[in-house]
Amino acid sequence: MFDYKLLAALAAVVEQAGFERAAQVLGLSQSAVSQRIKLLEARVGQPVLMRVSPPVATAVGQRLLNHVQQVRLLERDLQAQVPSLDEGGAPERLRIALNADSLATWWASAVGDFCAEQRLLLEHLVEDQDVGLKRMRAGEVAACLCASERPLAGARAELLGAMRYRALASPDFIRRHFAEGVSAPALARAPAIVFGPDDQLQHRYLAALGQEGGFCHHLCPSSEGFVRLAEAGFGWGLMPELQVQAELGRGSLVELLPQRPVDVPLYWHHWRNGGALLEQLTRHLHRQADKWLVPVVGV
């Protein structure tokens, strides 16, 4: 068997984003954590961590973390069957990467009851799809909810449905920028709001209207902040229908081109051998998701 004390040290340094916090969590001195990482590297025969801030796992380190994540899920199953194995420590948290808009809208309602019944603690990592899947491949998360349909090796990717987005702006913004009506060229000239460098929704929306190329935009990596900026007249942008019911109701946000929603599919990525809990959560999500998500056309 591997020496899991060493692997747990590696996992703690990466999860806690540093040696100091890893030491606190493990109840060890920082030099003891360092020592364990060095010992692990001596056994593996190569570095497992790049010593940058925060520390990053090397390729081989990632394979080790991936293994740790899966062993933890299996341990949880075993503990459910053999409760005396429970060491009384803090309960393990299931780490899940998901897109910011799901976390800001339907996710909590969909899994709240499940977590309360199972006494399950969650750690959420807000990541766009590429980083979320990279973290899953690196063994840092047990599952990932994102728009990419391609499963990782050893994992499943299941379609849950789609989030519907609408292009919205404040009435004041519309008066200022679309006095002649909302046309595609006028839209391309008005400032937009974009979540981050990976957010292509606004680009795709303009492209579908025949407007290719760059456009000026604010950047706001916060779902709630995005809606607040739109309401305050910073720019136009695509927002999840689920998130803006109140704003649409009171008229502080207005749809720019009605009947042009954008549907973004959401896939649930999870390890095939992720243990019973992850399987149950997956089944639960399938039962719940269509309360909030729309069906994907053509699937």
Binding residues vs a copy of itself (CB under 8 A):
16-17, 21, 50, 52-53, 56, 90-91, 93, 100, 103-105, 107-109, 111-113, 115-116, 121-126, 176, 191, 197, 214, 216-225, 228-229, 231-234, 243, 246
Measure the CA dihedral 241/244/250/253, to 10°: -90
Instruction: Identify which of residues 134 and 156 has a Cβ nearer to a copy of itself in the complex.
Output: 134
> What backbone torsions phi and psi does residue 236 show, to the nearest 5 degrees?
-100, 160
Q: Which two tokens stand for residue 16?
A: 């806690």
Integer angstrom CA distances of residue 158 from 38, 55, 277:
39, 32, 17
What is the distance between the terminal CA atoms of the chain, rounded to a whole angstrom? 45
- The sign one gets for the Cα dihedral 51, 52, 58, 63 is positive
Instruction: Identify which of residues 150 and 176 has a Cβ nearer to a copy of itself in the complex.
Output: 176
Instruction: Identify which of residues 3 and 117 has a Cβ nearer to a copy of itself in the complex.
Output: 117
Instruction: Identify which of residues 32 and 108 has a Cβ nearer to a copy of itself in the complex.
Output: 108
Q: Which two tokens stand for residue 137?
A: 């491949």
Instruction: Identify which of residues 156 and 178 has a Cβ nearer to a copy of itself in the complex.
Output: 178
User: E strands within the chain?
Assistant: 49-50, 56-57, 93-98, 121-126, 143-146, 155-169, 192-194, 217-219, 237-240, 254-255, 262-271
State the residue for tokens 């749809």.
255
Q: Which two tokens stand for residue 28?
A: 């060890």
- Please, what is the minimum distance in Å from the beta carbon of residue 85 to a copy of itself? 18
Instruction: Identify which of residues 21 and 156 has a Cβ nearer to a copy of itself in the complex.
Output: 21
- Please, what is the minimum distance in Å from the beta carbon of residue 1 to a copy of itself? 29
